[in-house]
Structure 1
Amino acid sequence: MMKLSNEIVKQLAEYAKLIVTRGVSLERNQLLVVTCSSDTLYFAKIVASAGYAAGAGDVQIRLEDEGLNALRNQYATEEQLLIQYRNQSSLNEQYIESKACFVRLIAPTDDVIALTDERELLLSNIVKSIRKPSLIDQFAFVVRRQASPVATIAWAEKVFPLLHGEEAFAKLWETIFHITYCNSNNSIESWDKHIATLLSNKAKLNALDIKKLIFINELGTNLEVELADNNQWFGGNCFDIEGKEFYPSIPTEEIFAAPHRLKVTGVVYNSIPLYLNNECIDGFQLTFSGGEVTSFDAKVGKKHLAALLATDEGARRLGEVALVHNGSRLAEQNLLFYETLCDENRTCHIALGAGYPGCIVDTDRSRNNLLSKGLNQSAIHVDFMFGTPDMIVTALLANGEEKVIMNKGEYNL
């Protein structure tokens, strides 16, 4: 790892403080679990320092190296893979029982190995046999989970192909500090001000009592998304099962809702490439009828899109619809980050797979009740971007009125 400048070191400390105090809202004596790769370990240690400074009972760093995972997935026997995944699942359950909070440090990498179709099927079956059949429990936020981007040289050179080494690395950190509001003298205050604006827009959307959204743009998207019963708009902040406020994504610019799993019709075209498991899916379109993808095509990665849609029945339906305005700090960068955590906060997006229980206002949080309200359930949740500068979003309100709530990518609330 190259030597960091004094200015970057100072800002990294501020960023780590934001993640710990706002991201997971760490409480005194609480266990903090930080998941990182070998390339982001340097920042994991800074987060650990911020955690202890905030009163953590302990900080544990979990190293999940993509290269090592790739080798294991290629060469390990089925029995060895089962043991590994079961051990991971058991450890996660122990952390949850300890009421830990979780930070995941994100940095895309090309350090993977292409697998044969047979090997991919084997891994898929193993994961399905161990994981719960839905992400509903995780999305219910029994514990506080948070994810944030971390610069690496490899990622920086991909985002800024005309720069190299230290210059690219410094540029990516400068960008991350900007989009997470950590490029000021008081990053916490800047973040809180940003969130206040986001929450104000969320309150305005909830006050409208929207029943259906219609998206139209020049790419050819003409999509009608009816919202789930008892829907409420979500975004910015979240609350765990004990009512503790936290921020699961830093950066965040989205305000999202739960589509009704049976009531989505029309066609949607992606506007930004989707990178999934290091594979690119681009130039794709999905056609919906009765809430389900009935046909699809892609210029790049059609095979991977087909595999995604075949994950389970819920993978062909929507779990999220999100609004992001074109004036956000991420949108203004006009960069492809090759990482959904950042790219999804550039523009409007939807997600195939599981929905968020928090979007449904109901005291009955059982899966069957949430399903009856229209909340989708699946083993996956994959966001892809379809917003454009010319996007027009029309809302059909409960009182029968229509209102354009986004015109050319900007809020009209």
Structure 2
Amino acid sequence: MTIHNEFQQKLDQYAELAVKVGVNVQQGQDLWVAAPLGTEELVRKIVRHAYLAGAKSVHVQWEDEEIIRTHYELAPDETFQEYPIWLSDAHEWVVDRKGAFLQVESHDPDLLKGIDPERIQDFEKAKGLALDRFFEAIDNDSISWSIIAMPSYKWAAKVFPRLEKEEQMNALWDRIFTAVRIGCEDPVTEWRRHMDTLTRKAEELNKMNLKELHYKADGTDLTIELHEDHLWLTGASKTPRGTDFIANMPTEEVYTVPVRTGVNGTVKSTKPLAYNGNVIEEFTLTFEKGKIVQMDASKGLDILEKLIETDEGASYLGEVALVPHQSPISDTGILFFNTLFDENASNHLAIGSAYPTCMKDGNILSDEEKEEKGLNESIVHEDFMIGSSNMDIDGILRDSSKVPIFRNGNWAF
């Protein structure tokens, strides 16, 4: 088999995996694919596999990075304070039709470098408000959704700056295929086996019913309170109609929600955060009664400040995720400058909204009940990486006794 044919076979496996395991398209279901230009070869295969799986219709929304950059550079300020009604209607159409949503990431990590942070913040606010119902459906797993990635030349150059241009793309493709288990004889079966392993770990944590987590590492001394009704979940989810799907591909995490006002101490990032076309590096956050009261960063502090100022909930945490340091993505030693991959190589936390599904009967809780249980609300949800090989995490049980959860960056039970 030639190298070209081998690549095409892997690309086809990847598309099939996204359709059958990621969003798990059902007979007669609509699928919306959001993708940047440059991903056409993969997206065309996704569309084909979706129809073969029984999709009723497949719609593709294309984005162009150069146009996005020009828009942020030249559009008037008021443009960033609104979101197109037709586009918010389209998102709600997916919810109303009980469709599936697939996002293909391939963006340049530095796409919006140098853009006024105020513009980025304004648009994120407008988008969050306009798509509130869509994001609520995502948070509650009311529709099947998934995120996958494909290399672009600028992204690959960021990850592998010392390689030649074509070698950069090949190297990033190789890492992505490895991370999503493409290349084995039956990727679909391999993924189901992998998710079974993560599910067993989540079940063990749920049996503990931890009261708190205490993180210790260089620059980190943080305590996070967990509600007695919290649930540890994996990337495997299920819609109300019983359709299984995997929201992030790859995924190596088990995660839950913190009590909104129960976070205290300081945490230090261990990987750069690629956020809205900017990179934030070496930052620390200090929490008091759940709220971020102090922050610092060696790079991108202005972007970090605007992120946390987005709304009241953006200064609180919405997710706690555990990923062992010795895991397939971390073992590559590669910094991806893409949260989809970097968060699955490291313990991480998320600024902003909580997933109600991480609470018993959370998807049927009223807004008042969510607030009562300490679930954070925000129009943002941004993961940042804090794990390392020297991180220890203790679990505090309901009787105040301790149990080791992580030692030296890896599972301790």
1:13 corresponds in structure 2 to 12
Residues of 2 paired with 1:233 and 1:118: CA distance? 36
Residues of 2 paired with 1:35 and 1:141: CA distance? 18
1:52 corresponds in structure 2 to 51
2:42 corresponds in structure 1 to 43
1:408 corresponds in structure 2 to 408
Give structure 1 stretches of 5+ with no counterpart.
Answer: none
Whether the aligned pair in 1 keeps the contact of 2:263 and 2:291 (CA below 8 Å) is yes
Residues of 2 paired with 1:111 and 1:399: CA distance? 49
Are residues 1:272 and 2:271 paired?
Answer: yes
Residues of 1 paired with 2:57 and 2:294: CA distance? 50
Whether the aligned pair in 1 keeps the contact of 2:91 and 2:134 (CA below 8 Å) is no
Whether the aligned pair in 2 keeps the contact of 1:33 and 1:60 (CA below 8 Å) is yes
Residues of 1 paired with 2:90 and 2:135: CA distance? 18
Residues of 1 paired with 2:386 and 2:78: CA distance? 41
Q: Deviations over 1:271-325 (max 9, x none)?
A: 0011111212112111111011111111111111111111111111000011001
Moved more, 128-137 or 170-179: 128-137
Moved more, 40-49 or 119-128: 119-128
1:25 corresponds in structure 2 to 24
Residue aligned with 1:213, SS? strand
Residues of 2 paired with 1:66 and 1:205: CA distance? 42
Post-superposition offset of 1:47: 0.8
Q: Deviations over 1:148-185 (max 9, x none)?
A: 11122222222122222322212211111111111211
Structure 2 counterpart of 1:73, one-letter code? Y
Whether the aligned pair in 2 keeps the contact of 1:71 and 1:113 (CA below 8 Å) is no
Identify if the C-alpha distance between structure 1 residues 128 and 206 changes in structure 2 by more than 3 Å, giving closer, same or farther.
closer
Whether the aligned pair in 2 keeps the contact of 1:20 and 1:50 (CA below 8 Å) is yes
Are residues 1:367 and 2:364 paired?
Answer: no
Whether the aligned pair in 2 keeps the contact of 1:135 and 1:380 (CA below 8 Å) is no
1:214 corresponds in structure 2 to 214
Identity of aligned residues (%): 30
Post-superposition offset of 1:133: 9.2
Residues of 1 paired with 2:95 and 2:134: CA distance? 17
Identify if the C-alpha distance between structure 1 residues 120 and 233 changes in structure 2 by more than 3 Å, giving closer, same or farther.
closer
Identify if the C-alpha distance between structure 1 residues 152 and 118 changes in structure 2 by more than 3 Å, giving closer, same or farther.
closer
Structure 2 counterpart of 1:370, one-letter code? K
1:116 corresponds in structure 2 to 116
Residues of 2 paired with 1:123 and 1:193: CA distance? 40
Whether the aligned pair in 2 keeps the contact of 1:229 and 1:360 (CA below 8 Å) is no
Superposed, which structure 2 residues align to 1:9-408 within 5 Å?
Answer: 9-77=8-76, 85-109=84-108, 110-112=110-112, 114-116=114-116, 119-120=119-120, 122-124=122-124, 126-127=126-127, 130-132=130-132, 135-217=135-217, 219-362=218-361, 364-408=364-408
Residue aligned with 2:233, SS? coil
Give structure 2 stretches of 5+ with no counterpart.
Answer: none
Residues of 1 paired with 2:307 and 2:83: CA distance? 23
Q: Deviations over 1:341-365 (max 9, x none)?
A: 1100001000110000110103642
Moved more, 53-62 or 252-261: 53-62
Residues of 1 paired with 2:342 and 2:315: CA distance? 22
Residues of 2 paired with 1:274 and 1:150: CA distance? 19
Residue aligned with 1:167, SS? helix
Post-superposition offset of 1:404: 0.5
Q: CA RMSD in A?
A: 2.1
Post-superposition offset of 1:92: 1.0
Moved more, 250-259 or 29-38: 29-38
Structure 1 counterpart of 2:62, one-letter code? L
Identify if the C-alpha distance between structure 1 residues 82 and 93 changes in structure 2 by more than 3 Å, giving closer, same or farther.
farther
Normalising by the residue count of structure 2, what TM-score does the alignment of the two structures yield? 0.94
Structure 1 counterpart of 2:348, one-letter code? H
Residue aligned with 1:142, SS? coil
Count of residue pairs the alignment pairs up: 410
Whether the aligned pair in 2 keeps the contact of 1:136 and 1:367 (CA below 8 Å) is no
Structure 1 counterpart of 2:374, one-letter code? G
Post-superposition offset of 1:41: 2.0
Q: Deviations over 1:65-112 (max 9, x none)?
A: 232223233334567667762221011112221221011001121444
Structure 2 counterpart of 1:274, one-letter code? L
Identify if the C-alpha distance between structure 1 residues 351 and 39 changes in structure 2 by more than 3 Å, giving closer, same or farther.
same
Residues of 2 paired with 1:306 and 1:349: CA distance? 19
Post-superposition offset of 1:120: 4.3
Residues of 2 paired with 1:14 and 1:253: CA distance? 20
Whether the aligned pair in 1 keeps the contact of 2:95 and 2:137 (CA below 8 Å) is no
Structure 2 counterpart of 1:183, one-letter code? G
Structure 1 counterpart of 2:304, one-letter code? L
Q: Deviations over 1:222-268 (max 9, x none)?
A: 00000134100011201123232110000000111100001100100
Identify if the C-alpha distance between structure 1 residues 129 and 16 changes in structure 2 by more than 3 Å, giving closer, same or farther.
closer
Residues of 2 paired with 1:345 and 1:287: CA distance? 23
Q: Deviations over 1:187-220 (max 9, x none)?
A: 1121111111111111111111111000001x22
Residue aligned with 1:63, SS? strand
Q: Deviations over 1:369-392 (max 9, x none)?
A: 112101111010011001110110
Whether the aligned pair in 1 keeps the contact of 2:142 and 2:239 (CA below 8 Å) is yes
Moved more, 399-408 or 315-324: 399-408
